[in-house]
Amino acid sequence: MVTAMSLLRDTSVAREKAPVPVVMSYLLMRVFIGVLAVLLPFVLILVNWAIGHGFEPSMSGYYYTPMRNCFVGVLCAIGVFLVTYDGYDLADRTVTDAAGLCTVCVAFFPTTPGSRPTARQVVIGDFHLTFACTAFVLLAVMAFRFAKREPTPPGLAWWPRVKYAFGFTGPGDSRAPRLERYCYRVSGVVILVCIILIDPLSTVAAHSLLVLETIMLVFFGLSWFVKGRKILSGR
């Protein structure tokens, strides 16, 4: 009788034996997501400043600047890539699909403008905040799950299963090298810490949210760079 684990192994082997152009395209997509995530905050900040429009308190504030099209376009591109990304199992696909949809919604539900917002703009801004927070949490979950690189095996007790699901696998249970696993876990922790610091720092520095969002996107992009490292090394 064919077991669930054998089916999972067969799927993994089939993916590993996929034609080289398919594998390279898959890795290229990972790298492209990382590039977009890392470059977005710097492009918004530097270009908007260079054309004389100063700095915004958050990345979402650039929606109301000449950088609107760049902000919306890049978020939509990242969202579409995440939705089309094929993870190792249903949980992976659910996380990436939800993160992608939330990212697209962040683009189409703009934040509340800083001056004299209408009641409708306030409601839309509340949706924006909900989608943004959810997206960043899911990006952290995604980084943790990169450390496992394979489906969670059946038959585990609930706590080992939770640990395994978030990338904290047992010795020898992950095909990811140790340094790679550390990179994923550090990225996930940094994103979560930044989320926690958003509210306390909002009363301390005017641009703290912009800085924290930039840090989160850089570390999210870093995890995708490492994930797609084979395309750079040629292995």
> Contact, 91 vs 141, CB < 8 A?
no
Residue 225: pLDDT band with limits 50, 70, 90: confident
Of the candidates 199, 227, 222, the residue with the CA atom closest to the CA atom of residue 212: 199
Question: Per-residue pLDDT for 16 more than 60?
Answer: no
**What three-state secondary structure class fits 68?**
helix
Task: Inform me whether the pLDDT recorded for 230 exceeds 60.
Answer: no
Q: Which residues of 168-203 are buried (b: 16+ CB within 10 A; e: fewer)?
A: bbeeeebebeeebbebbbebbebbbebbebbeeeee
Q: So what's the pLDDT on residue 1? A: 41
Structure confidence by residue, pLDDT tens digits, 41-90: 999 999 999 999 889 999 999 999 999 999 999 999 999 989 888 766 77
Question: Is the distance from CB of 86 to CB of 106 less than 8 angstroms?
Answer: no
Q: Please write the tens of the pLDDT for every residue from 140-198.
A: 988 888 777 666 667 777 777 777 777 676 655 566 677 787 888 899 999 999 999 99
d(CA 145, CA 142): 5
Percent of the chain topping pLDDT 90: 43
pTM, to two decimals = 0.78
DSSP assignment, residue 49? H
The predicted pLDDT at position 70 comes to 94
Residue 99 to residue 82: CA distance in whole angstroms: 7
Q: What residue spans define the domains of the chain?
A: 21-233
Distance CA 215, CA 149 (A): 24
Cα separation, 103 vs 133, in Å, equals 10
Q: Which two tokens mark 159?
A: 């706590």
